[in-house]
């Protein structure tokens, strides 16, 4: 890299708009979305999609809710031509969906494009030509008049040729390519004349699409350009103002959002940001950003993983695990403090349904993600994550001190493996550690009877070293009575420091789970846990589990 990059690169200076209004605006409704996955996305793939793949993708776009879909460049490739024919002749286009196709401003290409669309109910014919200085000078070896002539002549051809196919309800879209780096008053001059030729009405608007073919500077620069066009174009009421941001600087989403605030009505982009070079603007992120602000995007990503899988298969390109809203890891907290906050947030979800979970901008369930996606436990995790997973996986609601105790066991295993622990493995470890703590005292049965004034007598049978024992004790309740029976048997005080229980399951299958913190004279306390369909049995088994763990 250069020490003095200014000798090679210069700052792009956009339009001067000191009275810009867009910073005061907010996005309050969904724009018209146009998916160009099958055109701009497709033209950027290593292996372009086959007809079958395009059809699969098209159907998914329809399911998601796109009403405008650019399906190809039919004058460029036979696959695209045949695909357009298949859509029309196979009746694959719902009445409320309009297909769009792209063409250069060349007579024979427009002719073939119109041919491809014959018999369609509605169609958008999209013509582009570059206006920007580098293109004029380097690519076309012409001047402003030369590129303007291409735009105007092309528009006249579109008008003439589409008139030959009156069965189609035509919409014309014109893109001054590389709008982002073209002198703005020159773009206006060309667009105004294009509009004059086409003669749109408020009922049959023209789409003027202003592409950031290459992103030039910070997204505010693009917003200024869009607001300038929005304010200065003639016949604005007959124009759908569209944007087509690319992502060269990694700020296409921001540019698109600011463009909406600046007056754009429509956004062209691709799912997950596929497209030329660094991609087109990512429509999934844009839509979900709106959703997270309480604005319905009118696109359905309720099963975002299914959409992602299909797009990965069709594009033969992976979606990054940290891709906003859709990446495999984007709802996942591994670290202790994040897990703690998420667990607490999930627990207090307010009755009015408002989402207030720290670290998570949206509810993962809204896009079809389960609890597994939210918290995963490795050596960076703490008790919050462990407790969350156990509750989700096994319905176990560990008391706080037990969370601390058990998370040390999990930490030891994770440190030794260096790996993540799955929820299923955690349940297994918990059961081994607590429910299976049956040595030396292996519970067999118990009976409980009331004695005296509110006193209880318990009789416990257990196996110890292959012999069966029966012991008895009394107390204010069954747990105290059982502790007293064990104290007598062991000749050591068995103390119950804490007791928790809750039900798991439903109906006939409901069970009680007990967590008892036990202390044996001269030892630190520990927990014992057990479950049983009988709550008293669960408590006595939990007490034995604790004593066994201490012994
Ligand atoms: C920013 C975008 O994404 S634009 C869309 C880009 N997508 C594609 O290009 C994919 C499909 N394209 C193709 O398959 C081919 O480009 C075709 C079949 C359309 C045309 O191929 P070719 O005839 O070989 O021309 P090629 O694409 O190389 O274009 C170069 C010629 O077209 C002219 N041209 C390029 N774009 C345009 C345009 N929008 N309008 C008018 N003429 C144009 C160039 O000036 C050049 O002319 P020259 O040969 O006289 O120098
Ligand atoms: C054809 C136009 C809209 C385009 O793809 C671009 O400028 O990026």
Render pLDDT for 405-427 as a digit per residue (tens, 0 to 9).
999 999 999 999 999 999 999 99
Given a contact cutoff of 8 angstroms between Cβ atoms, the answer to whether 536 and 448 are in contact is yes
User: Which residue of 36, 43, 72, 102 sits with most ligand 2 atoms within 8 Å of its CB, as the best mutation to test the pocket?
Assistant: 102
Is 246 labelled as part of a ligand binding site? yes
What pLDDT score does 454 carry?
Answer: 66
Given a contact cutoff of 8 angstroms between Cβ atoms, the answer to whether 75 and 37 are in contact is no
Comparing 29-315 with 442-550, is the CATH topology the same? no
CB atoms inside a 10 Å sphere around CB 365: 13
Which DSSP symbol is given to 279?
Answer: -
pLDDT at 371 > cutoff 90: no
Mean pLDDT of the chain: 96
Which of the residue ranges 226-230, 233-237, 384-388 would you say has the lowest mean pLDDT?
384-388
Task: Measure the CA–CA gap between 458 and 542, rounded to whole angstroms.
Answer: 15
- The protein residue whose alpha carbon is closest to atom 2 in ligand 2 is 177
- Interval between CA 214 and ligand 2 midpoint (Å): 9
Give Cβ neighbours of residue 234 (< 8 Å, ≥ 6 apart): 192, 195
Is 502 labelled as part of a ligand binding site? no
What pLDDT score does 432 carry?
Answer: 97
Q: Where are the alpha helices (DSSP H) in 250-335?
A: 252-261, 283-292, 304-315
Q: Where are the alpha helices (DSSP H) in 180-246?
A: 184-198, 219-232
Dig out the tokens for 316 from the structure: 């033969």
* Protein residues whose CB sits closer than 6 Å to any atom of ligand 2: 40, 102, 128, 175, 177, 209, 211, 213, 244, 246
What is the number of the ligand 2 atom nearest to the C-alpha of 246? 8
pLDDT digits (tens, 9 = 90+) for 71-96: 999 999 999 999 999 999 999 999 99
- The protein residue whose alpha carbon is closest to atom 1 in ligand 2 is 128
| Architecture of the domain delimited by 29-315 | Alpha-Beta Barrel (3.20)
- CA distances for 214 relative to 178, 247, 249, 272, angstroms: 7, 8, 9, 18
- Interval between CA 106 and ligand 1 midpoint (Å): 9
Q: Which of 520, 448, 530 is nearest to 482 (CA)?
A: 448
Binding site membership of 40 for ligand 1 (Cβ less than 6 Å): yes
From the DSSP assignment, how many helices (H) and strands (E) are in the chain? 17, 14
Is 280 labelled as part of a ligand binding site? yes
- The protein residue whose alpha carbon is closest to atom 5 in ligand 2 is 40
Model confidence band, residue 48 (pLDDT cutoffs 50, 70, 90) = very high
- Interval between CA 110 and ligand 2 midpoint (Å): 17
pLDDT at 104 > cutoff 80: yes
Closest ligand relative to 211 C-alpha: 2
Q: CATH homologous superfamily of domain 442-550? A: Alpha-isopropylmalate synthase LeuA, regulatory domain (3.30.160.270)
Sign of CA dihedral 124, 125, 131, 132: positive
What is the number of the ligand 1 atom nearest to the C-alpha of 76? 18
Distance linking the first and last C-alpha atoms of the chain = 67
pLDDT at 350 > cutoff 70: no
Query: What does the pLDDT average to over 388-400?
Result: 95
What pLDDT score does 352 carry?
Answer: 78
pLDDT digits (tens, 9 = 90+) for 129-187: 999 999 999 999 999 999 999 999 999 999 999 999 999 999 999 999 999 999 999 99
- Interval between CA 321 and ligand 2 midpoint (Å): 28
Q: Where are the alpha helices (DSSP H) in 348-399?
A: 383-394
Binding site membership of 106 for ligand 1 (Cβ less than 6 Å): yes
Which DSSP symbol is given to 281?
Answer: -
Model confidence band, residue 502 (pLDDT cutoffs 50, 70, 90) = very high
pLDDT at 368 > cutoff 80: yes
Is 40 labelled as part of a ligand binding site? yes
User: Which residue of 49, 104, 173 sits with most ligand 1 atoms within 8 Å of its CB, as the best mutation to test the pocket?
Assistant: 104
Task: Measure the CA–CA gap between 212 and 129, rounded to whole angstroms.
Answer: 14
Coil, helix or strand at residue 521: coil
What is the number of the ligand 2 atom nearest to the C-alpha of 36? 5
pLDDT digits (tens, 9 = 90+) for 49-61: 999 999 999 999 9
pLDDT at 526 > cutoff 80: yes
Dig out the tokens for 371 from the structure: 């609890």
What is the number of the ligand 2 atom nearest to the C-alpha of 179? 7
- The protein residue whose alpha carbon is closest to atom 6 in ligand 2 is 213
What pLDDT score does 90 carry?
Answer: 98
Task: Measure the CA–CA gap between 184 and 169, rounded to whole angstroms.
Answer: 31
What pLDDT score does 506 carry?
Answer: 87
pLDDT at 448 > cutoff 80: yes
- Interval between CA 213 and ligand 2 midpoint (Å): 6
Binding site membership of 212 for ligand 1 (Cβ less than 6 Å): no
- The protein residue whose alpha carbon is closest to atom 37 in ligand 1 is 104
Closest ligand relative to 105 C-alpha: 1
Q: What are the strands of the beta sheet with 455-464, ordered from one edge?
A: 442-451, 455-464, 467-475
Closest ligand relative to 112 C-alpha: 1
- Interval between CA 280 and ligand 2 midpoint (Å): 9
Give Cβ neighbours of residue 91 (< 8 Å, ≥ 6 apart): none
Q: Which of 464, 497, 468 is nearest to 480 (CA)?
A: 497
Q: Where are the alpha helices (DSSP H) in 163-201?
A: 184-198
Dig out the tokens for 319 from the structure: 């979606």
Query: What does the pLDDT average to over 399-403?
Result: 96
- Interval between CA 266 and ligand 1 midpoint (Å): 25
- CA distances for 178 relative to 230, 246, 279, 543, angstroms: 17, 10, 15, 75
Interstrand relation of 494-504 and 467-475 (parallel, antiparallel or unpaired): unpaired
ipTM above 0.90, yes or no: yes
What pLDDT score does 426 carry?
Answer: 96
What pLDDT score does 373 carry?
Answer: 81
Q: How many residues appear in the chain?
A: 551
Domains of the chain, by residue range, sit at: 29-315, 336-435, 442-550
Give Cβ neighbours of residue 163 (< 8 Å, ≥ 6 apart): none
Given a contact cutoff of 8 angstroms between Cβ atoms, the answer to whether 112 and 102 are in contact is no
Binding site membership of 150 for ligand 1 (Cβ less than 6 Å): yes
Given a contact cutoff of 8 angstroms between Cβ atoms, the answer to whether 82 and 115 are in contact is no
What is the number of the ligand 2 atom nearest to the C-alpha of 211? 7
Model confidence band, residue 478 (pLDDT cutoffs 50, 70, 90) = very high
């Amino acid at each position: 890299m250069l020490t003095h990059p200014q000798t090679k690169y210069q700052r792009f200076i956009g339009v001067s708009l000191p009275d810009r209004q867009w910073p005061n605006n907010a996005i309050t409704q969904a724009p018209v979305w146009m998916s160009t996955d099958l055109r701009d996305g497709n033209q950027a793939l290593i292996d372009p999609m086959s007809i079958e793949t395009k059809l699969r993708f098209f159907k998914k776009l329809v399911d998601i809710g796109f009403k405008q879909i650019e399906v190809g460049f039919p004058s460029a490739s036979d696959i695209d031509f045949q695909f357009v024919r298949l859509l029309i002749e196979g009746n694959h286009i719902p009445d409320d969906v309009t297909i769009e196709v792209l063409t250069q401003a060349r007579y024979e290409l427009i002719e073939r494009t119109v041919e491809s669309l014959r018999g369609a109910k509605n169609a958008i014919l999209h013509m582009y030509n570059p206006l920007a200085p580098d293109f004029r000078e380097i690519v076309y070896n012409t001047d402003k008049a030369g590129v303007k002539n291409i735009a105007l002549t092309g528009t006249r051809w579109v008008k003439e040729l589409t008139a030959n196919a009156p069965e189609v309800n035509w919409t014309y879209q014109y893109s001054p390519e590389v709008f982002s780096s073209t002198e703005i008053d020159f773009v206006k001059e060309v667009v105004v004349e294009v509009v004059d030729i086409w003669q749109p009405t408020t009922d049959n608007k023209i789409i003027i699409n202003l592409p950031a073919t290459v992103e030039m500077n910070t997204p505010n620069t693009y917003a200024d350009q869009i607001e300038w066009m929005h304010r200065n174009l003639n016949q604005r009421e007959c124009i759908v103002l569209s944007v087509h941001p690319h992502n060269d600087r990694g700020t296409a989403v921001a540019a698109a959002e600011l463009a909406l605030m600046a007056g754009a009505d429509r956004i062209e982009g691709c799912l997950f940001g596929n497209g030329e070079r660094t991609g087109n603007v990512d429509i999934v992120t844009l839509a979900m950003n709106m959703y997270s602000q309480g604005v319905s995007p009118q696109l359905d990503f309720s099963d975002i993983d299914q959409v992602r899988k299909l797009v990965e298969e069709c594009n033969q390109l992976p979606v990054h695990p940290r891709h906003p809203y859709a990446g495999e890891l984007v709802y996942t907290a591994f670290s202790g403090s994040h897990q703690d906050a998420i667990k607490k947030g999930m627990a207090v979800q307010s009755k009015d349904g408002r989402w207030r979970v720290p670290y998570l901008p949206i509810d993962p369930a809204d896009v079809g993600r389960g609890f597994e996606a939210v918290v995963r436990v490795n050596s960076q995790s703490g008790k919050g994550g462990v407790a969350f997973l156990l509750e989700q996986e096994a319905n176990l609601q560990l008391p706080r001190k037990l969370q601390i105790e058990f998370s040390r066991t999990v930490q030891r295993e994770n440190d030794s493996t260096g790996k993540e622990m799955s929820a299923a493995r955690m349940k297994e470890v918990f059961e081994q550690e607590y429910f299976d703590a049956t040595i030396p005292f292996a519970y067999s049965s118990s009976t409980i009877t009331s004695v005296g004034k509110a006193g209880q007598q318990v009789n416990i049978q257990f196996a110890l070293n292959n012999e069966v024992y029966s012991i008895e004790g009394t107390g204010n309740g069954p747990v105290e009575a059982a502790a007293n029976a064990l104290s007598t048997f062991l000749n050591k005080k068995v103390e119950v420091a804490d007791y928790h229980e809750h039900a798991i399951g439903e109906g006939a299958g409901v069970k009680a789970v007990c967590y008892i913190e036990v202390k044996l004279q001269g030892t630190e306390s520990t927990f014992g846990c057990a479950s049983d369909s009988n709550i008293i049995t669960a408590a006595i088994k939990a007490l034995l589990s604790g004593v066994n763990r201490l012994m």
